[in-house]
């Protein structure tokens, strides 16, 4: 039994502490020494809450819309890109990392205007080469620009560049290699792990189409390309709006365009093909939503749709998903200097969903408990305040933690920390035994008064909570009915003051 417990602790610890590719987000504008209201920002999830710092790099790189980054297994930033160039953790351009996505569109946006390479969201992503911790592929969509008088722009190629990380040296080995030459959707590129938990599927629709490309990425590179036609054809005038995303376990893809029905695609991670398609009807009321985004809760149960002034929740486990539409947030009218409304979404490593506030603003909204139903999901408008505007940017991350079908793991943890690990904050509070099989005891030495005990799973969902009203110095909580694994506990006073928090292992 002792060996089994040690193995369980080791496995859980590895899943939480050794896969931190999405722990550092880089957003914002070129830094400006004359005006500190503009610049680049790092959001670092290695601390709780995430640290938000003004960042001055070696060169200017505007992170407008097109945004990707990757950290090592311990959460240290390796490199990032805005679709124009590839930079190291210090903000300097990598050797051979300049001029990705070359062409007239690059010249106009990256060189002349000085913005990021706006090819939609997501239009760029980084994947580690399976079974190789030093090689990474950067996949990026390239725009063909047609100048006036018939000005137009559309994605005509999917390119990739290869980055090698060796010690403190990071270089671009090859860049702008063509993977696919075809008219592709603006943005809407996603990646999801193969059923073996090692390889990857990269999925992108064709332009204004219901035909999809699926690329199989293994240790040998792209080894297969599949095509499939399924679902409804998106309206051409909605190109570039809305968002497409996968559930964390990879079995569902959501395709959302503003003021249109939601496309729900069921995905087979083994074959790389969709197995079914459903439509989720959404009631926008009298408001015509011109943009929006989507995200799925860590467990895969709840879908969130943003529609500028509203955020809706749907229960994907319900027999009639459309009927579960619940409004969980309404824009409160805040303006700074534009409306801080609701836009693109990304699940964070702390199991919270972050939503761009309006556009190029200093705010992200937060869904703190996305696996809770209705208003219990705890939506906070402007929950994360940045020192500078974001550049209308939020990085895209696939679920790097996703394991094989029989052991998918968890995509995030409700409390993540390296520098500040979760532990008891009060020496007068003890929780034992740990590991625990049946009864968990909380001992409150010199802690009188009412208290609230909360126990959460690793998705952040509350699995047990109790109000302790007695003056006894101990309280015993039964956890016998819980499944084996790691849980997070916290004890607060009646007024909300945190007395302590920590982790337990349920045998």
Residue at which a domain ends, from 335, 367, 385: 385
Query: Coil, strand or helix: which one is 22?
Result: coil
Domain shared by 258 and 114, yes or no: yes
Phi, psi of 110 (to 5 degrees): -80, -40
For residue 43, list its beta bridge partners.
25, 52
State the pLDDT at residue 62: 87
Instruction: Say yes or no: 103 and 195 in one domain.
Output: yes
Same domain, yes or no, for 251 and 306? Answer: yes
- Apex CA 55: angle with CA 382 and CA 118, to 5°? 70
Same domain, 291 and 199: yes
Q: Is 443 a member of any domain?
A: yes
- Give the residue numbers spanning the domain of 246: 20-385
**pLDDT for the residue 487:** 85
CATH number at residue 134: 2.130.10
Alpha carbon distances (Å) from 357 to 71, 244, 390: 25, 18, 9
Let me know if residue 89 belongs to a domain: yes
52-95 pLDDT per residue, tens:
988 776 677 888 889 999 999 999 999 999 999 999 998 899 99
Residue 206 near residue 182 (C-beta atoms within 8 A): yes
The pLDDT score that the predictor gives to residue 415 is: 57
Judgement on whether residues 55 and 171 belong to the same structural domain of the protein: yes
How many CA atoms does the CB half-sphere of 377 hold within 13 Å? Answer: 30
Say which CATH number the domain at 489 has.
Answer: 2.60.40.3080
Q: Is residue 392 part of a domain?
A: no
Instruction: Please tell me the total count of domains within the chain.
Output: 2
pLDDT at 146: 85
- Tens digit of pLDDT per residue, the chain (507 long)? 334 333 433 444 434 445 899 999 999 987 655 556 678 899 999 998 899 988 776 677 888 889 999 999 999 999 999 999 999 998 899 999 999 999 999 998 898 888 889 899 999 999 999 999 999 999 999 999 888 888 888 999 999 999 999 988 999 999 999 999 999 999 999 999 999 999 999 999 999 999 999 999 999 999 999 999 999 999 999 988 999 999 999 999 999 999 899 999 999 999 999 999 999 999 998 877 788 999 999 999 999 999 999 999 999 999 999 999 999 999 999 999 899 999 999 999 999 999 999 989 999 999 999 999 999 999 999 999 998 899 899 999 999 999 999 889 889 987 543 333 333 345 578 888 888 889 999 888 766 678 889 998 877 778 999 988 877 788 899 999 998 888 888 888 877 777 887 888 888
Instruction: Report how far apart the first and last C-alpha atoms of the chain are (Å, whole number).
Output: 9
Across the beta sheet with 379-385, the strand order is 342-347, 353-357, 363-367, 379-385
Distance between CA atoms of residues 120 and 241, nearest Å: 8
Q: Rounded to an integer, what distance in angstroms lies between the CA atom of residue 139 and that of residue 128? A: 11
In tens, the pLDDT along 451-495 reads 889 998 877 778 999 988 877 788 899 999 998 888 888 888 877
How many whole angstroms separate alpha carbon 299 and alpha carbon 196?
20
Do 319 and 447 belong to one domain? no
Q: What is the bridge-based pairing of β-strands 124-128 and 86-88?
A: unpaired
Residues 164 and 244 in one domain: yes
Find how far residue 445's CA is from the centre of its chain: 40
Residue 399 lies in a domain: no
Q: Are residues 183 and 117 in the same domain?
A: yes
Length of the chain: 507
Does residue 273 fall inside a structural domain?
Answer: yes
CA pair distance 110, 59, nearest whole angstrom: 13
- 345 and 433 inside one domain: no
Whether 396 maps to a domain, the answer reads no
pLDDT score recorded for residue 32: 58
* CB contact at 8 A, 141 and 158: yes
Cis, bond preceding 436 (omega within 30 deg of 0): no
Report the Cα 86 to chain-centroid distance in Å: 21
Q: Which of 153, 144, 128, 219 is nearest to 178 (CA)?
A: 144
Peptide bond into 270 cis (omega under 30): no
Domain shared by 129 and 253, yes or no = yes
Q: Looking at the structure, tell me whether residues 107 and 13 fall in a common domain.
A: no
408 is a domain residue: no
Query: Does a structural domain hold residue 401?
Result: no
197 Cβ contact partners less than 8 Å away, ≥ 6 residues apart: 402, 403, 404, 405, 407, 408
Here the tokens at position 317 are 């486990």
* Same structural domain, 240 and 292: yes
The domain boundary residue, chosen from 334, 365, 385:
385
């Amino acid at each position: 039994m002792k060996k089994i417990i040690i193995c369980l602790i080791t496995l859980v610890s590895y899943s939480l502490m050794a896969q931190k590719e999405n722990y550092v987000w880089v957003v914002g504008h070129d830094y400006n020494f004359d005006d500190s209201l503009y610049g680049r920002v790092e959001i670092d999830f290695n601390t709780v809450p995430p640290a938000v710092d003004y960042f001055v790099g070696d060169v200017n790189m505007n992170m407008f819309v097109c945004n990707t980054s990757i950290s090592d297994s311990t959460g240290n930033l390796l490199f990032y890109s805005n679709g124009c160039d590839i930079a190291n953790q210090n903000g300097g351009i990598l050797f051979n990392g300049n001029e990705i996505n070359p062409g007239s569109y690059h010249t106009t946006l990256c060189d002349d205007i000085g913005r990021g390479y706006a090819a939609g969201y997501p239009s760029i992503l980084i994947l580690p080469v399976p079974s190789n911790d030093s090689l990474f592929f950067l996949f990026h969509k390239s725009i063909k620009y047609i100048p006036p008088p018939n000005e137009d722009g559309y994605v005509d190629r999917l390119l990739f560049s290869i980055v090698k990380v060796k010690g403190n040296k990071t270089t671009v080995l090859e860049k702008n290699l063509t993977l696919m030459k075809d008219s592709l959707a603006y943005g809407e590129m996603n990646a999801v792990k193969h059923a073996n938990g090692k390889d990857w599927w990269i999925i992108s629709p064709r332009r204004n189409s219901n035909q999809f490309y699926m690329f199989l990425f293994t240790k040998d590179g792209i080894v297969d390309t599949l095509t499939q036609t399924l679902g409804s054809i998106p309206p051409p005038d909605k190109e570039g709006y809305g968002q497409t995303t996968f559930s964390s376990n990879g079995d569902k893809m959501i395709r959302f365009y503003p003021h249109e029905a939601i496309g729900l695609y069921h995905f087979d991670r083994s074959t790389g093909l969709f197995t079914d398609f459903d439509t989720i009807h959404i009631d926008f009321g009298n408001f015509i939503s011109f943009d929006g985004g989507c995200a799925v809760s860590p467990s895969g149960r709840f879908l969130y749709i943003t529609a500028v002034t509203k955020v809706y929740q749907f229960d994907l486990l319900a027999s009639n998903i459309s009927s579960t539409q619940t409004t969980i947030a309404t824009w409160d009218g805040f303006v700074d200097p534009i409306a801080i409304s609701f836009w693109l979404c990304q699940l964070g490593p702390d199991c919270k969903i972050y939503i761009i506030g309006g556009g190029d603003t200093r705010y992200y909204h937060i869904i703190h408990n996305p696996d809770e139903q209705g208003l219990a999901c705890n939506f906070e408008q402007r929950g994360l305040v940045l020192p500078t505007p974001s550049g209308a940017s939020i990085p895209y991350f696939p679920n790097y933690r996703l394991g094989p079908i029989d052991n998918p793991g968890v995509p995030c943890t409700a409390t993540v920390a390296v520098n500040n690990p979760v532990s008891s904050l009060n020496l007068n509070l003890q929780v034992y035994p740990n590991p625990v099989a049946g009864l968990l005891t909380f001992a409150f030495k010199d802690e009188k008064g009412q208290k609230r005990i909360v126990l959460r799973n690793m998705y952040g969902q509350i699995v047990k909570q109790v109000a302790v009203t007695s003056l006894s110095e101990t309280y015993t909580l039964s956890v016998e009915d819980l499944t084996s694994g790691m849980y997070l506990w916290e004890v607060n006073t009646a007024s909300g003051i945190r007395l302590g928090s920590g982790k337990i292992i349920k045998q």
